[in-house]
Amino acid sequence: MKKYIFTLFVYLLIFPVSVNAIDTKAEQAIVIDFDTNEILFEKNSNLKTPPASMTKIMTVYAAFDRIKNTDLSITNECVISAKAYKMGGSRTFLEIDDRVSIDDLLKGIIIQSGNDASIAMAECLGGTEEDFAKLMNVYAKRLGMNNTNFINSSGWPEDNHYSTVYDLALLSNALIRQFPDLYLYFSDKEFTYNEIKQPNRNKLLNTLQGSDGLKTGFTKVSGWGIAATAIRDSRRITVVINGTNSSRLRLNEASNLINWAFSQTSQKQIIDEGQLITEVDVWLGNKPRVNLISSEKVISTLSFDQIQLLKSTIQYKKPIEAPIKKGQVYGVLTITIEGKPDIKVDLVAQNNVNSINPIFKIFAALKYLIFGTSLDE
């Protein structure tokens, strides 16, 4: 197999930006481009730590899934237990034996970070909080959250209750993708229940351009953390950090990471599906050459430096022997981007090429060997 090397400059005409180095005071952090799923920055992203109230993202995910895929409605009501009523920490101020709608519980969890609302939701959907936590772990496994284990629905500190910023980013993006309509709950800025108005604890909704979710968290062990996301010009960035030493610092660090991602990186279409990549000689065919085209579109999040160093190689057998079938793979395009894994794209034939009449094959073969060309050229 012969290898041909060339440098790609296709679809990279958007004005590039120079990337400045980024760091964070958070102990754990991850920045992900929502559309391409590429990690733009990470720091201790797979370190297991208490997720605190960011646990509630999974509690909400489970509720959203039931609403979308079963007959559960946001108008259904749940009876508030003594356990939920007595729960400490941040609260929605539910009253024992009250009947509270799923809608109000979701707002209590998302906006007010109510531990009482989280337990009420867990008991309503799972029978007990313990059984609901088992369901949370089932969802976590399905989503690929391999370094996560939930013991409760609120994030209240307990042994063996842990996650990672990487896993929480997976969860956050899955929730946004799978439940786009219900996700709108996360952008509500305040909620009044029992005549007590409370603002959304995610203050980025008021200070960061494009912010529309998700959830803060704090315990003495984990420090201050946040799963945050923002959308600008149809592009979404998701950030999860944990282990900062103040509420203000977690907001500053999350804002800095999101702003950096938007200003210093951009999505580029490197190759389009069906794009002509190369033309290859045909052996013993009724046409002298065949076009090899890309089998898929390739979009990546790149910095200016990565664009400048972008290269690719094409591998294919030369010549390709007829018959050639349209859409069949005859080569591979490997795109090399500094700091990222290589991207491999199958190259397929654009058209069919039939074999020549057997009577003429011997003459075509001799002509190719002598002149390096096929029958019709």
User: Between β-strands 99-101 and 77-79, what pairing exists: parallel, antiparallel or unpaired?
Assistant: antiparallel
SS3 274: coil
Active-site hit among 43, 56, 215, 268: 56
Active-site hit among 45, 81, 90, 113: 113
Based on DSSP, count helices (H) and strands (E) in the chain, helices before strands: 10, 18
Tokens (6 digits) for 139 = 């969802």
In the residue annotation, 53 being an active-site residue is answered as yes
Counting Cβ atoms within 10 Å, is residue 109 exposed (0-12), middle (13-18) or buried (19+)? buried
Q: CA 217 to CA 225: how far, in whole Å?
A: 5
Q: What is the rounded (10 degree) CA torsion for 357, 361, 364, 366?
A: -170
Active-site hit among 43, 45, 53, 312: 53
Q: CA 108 to CA 138: how far, in whole Å?
A: 24
Give DSSP secondary structure letters for 154-205: S----TT-BB-HHHHHHHHHHHHHH-TTGGGGGG--EEEETTEEEE-S-THH
Contact 302, 33 (CB under 8 A): no
Contact 189, 199 (CB under 8 A): yes
User: Between β-strands 77-79 and 223-232, what pairing exists: parallel, antiparallel or unpaired?
Assistant: unpaired
Contact 284, 355 (CB under 8 A): yes
In the residue annotation, 56 being an active-site residue is answered as yes
List residues with catalytic annotation: 53, 56, 113
